[in-house]
Amino acid sequence: MSRQIDNEYVLDCLQRWGNHCSVAFLDPTCQFFGLNHIDGVIGYRTHGNKAVIFGDPASELQDQIHLMRAFHDYCKQHNKSIICIGSSAPFAHQLLEHNICASALAVGNEILLDARIDPTKHRGADGSSLRNKWCYSIRRGLMVHEYTGHDATLEQKFEALHGQWLAARKGPQIYLAQTELFTHRKYRRLFYATHQDNVVGLLILTQLKSQQGFVINVLMLAPNAPTTTSEFIILSVLQQLAQEGPLTLSAGLIPQAHLDSIYGFGTIVQWLAKKMYSVAYKRYKLHRKQQYWKKFAPVKKELFVLFERQRVSIHDTMSILHALHAIK
């Protein structure tokens, strides 16, 4: 029997078992499915007759496939087919083995930074670039602080930065959740950068206990922030996390340039899927994320998009873009 789910229960599941895609749970458009006899939830958005699921179920590992079977049956009863985005390799293989999904695409990687490893100490051009940006930021007087209080004046500055950042965003956007700065405080951490008494950057993290670390919700910069502010915030937060224990920082799903690993599709459908992916990759300028995170020499974990059927339609693509707020 499906469970009645309230907001606190969702947030508890997110913190205990969430993964890189679980930040989508913080979006007001996200829907949830659960069972009375299993702790955990599946987060998803609907578009037409599609249910687009975000990542693996937020539950104990042994319960994930049981939740998915029940949700699959639930969707069949409501004449919907499922699409899973950002699924881990182990869970993707389970979905294929249990015939819940019939096809899969390896679309990118989860980017993970180990806080114990200082990226500025890496050899080569990337390590040198980060060292230079760190030193330049120090010379410019940039500082990073964690916000833990309730300072009305400072929060007004955060809101002003948020407004400037939104106004400066150009072109089509992809994101999992809308940026609400001060909701769900006990589940998130906020770090901010200052320069000459101005707030020039904000980084919001959500804790993922099962992943032994945090995932980035959003990193926003003021239009007039020094050019090294972004890297300086990430490096400063990694230093803080390193002091707290063996923690990781996840940047979430970073799309790859081409579709290489494809399962369950025929030749024509593979060609069509590659073409549609290539168009989306260029339109949303997804190469920028690859270029940015490469310099941190991250650990990468392959992630998948899975479909219930052995085909990809235009409606499937539109449903995925709708789930990612790329289209309304």
Q: What is the pLDDT along the chain (328 residues), one digit of tens a residue?
A: 567 788 899 999 999 999 999 999 999 999 999 999 999 999 999 999 999 999 999 999 999 999 999 999 999 999 999 999 999 999 999 999 999 999 999 999 999 999 999 999 999 999 999 999 999 999 999 999 999 988 999 999 999 999 999 998 877 788 888 888 888 778 889 999 999 999 999 999 999 999 999 999 999 999 999 999 999 999 999 999 999 988 999 999 998 888 878 888 888 888 888 888 888 888 878 888 889 999 999 999 999 999 999 888 889 989 999 999 888 7
CA distance 52 to 45: 5
Structure tokens at 126: 């990337």
HSE-CB for 52 with a 13 A CA cutoff: 25
The CATH architecture assigned to 7-110+256-287+301-323 reads 3-Layer(aba) Sandwich (3.40)
| Nearest of 23, 78, 97 to residue 54 by alpha carbon | 23
Q: Where in the chain is the domain with CATH 3.40.630.30?
A: 112-251
Which fold is adopted by the domain 112-251?
Aminopeptidase (3.40.630)
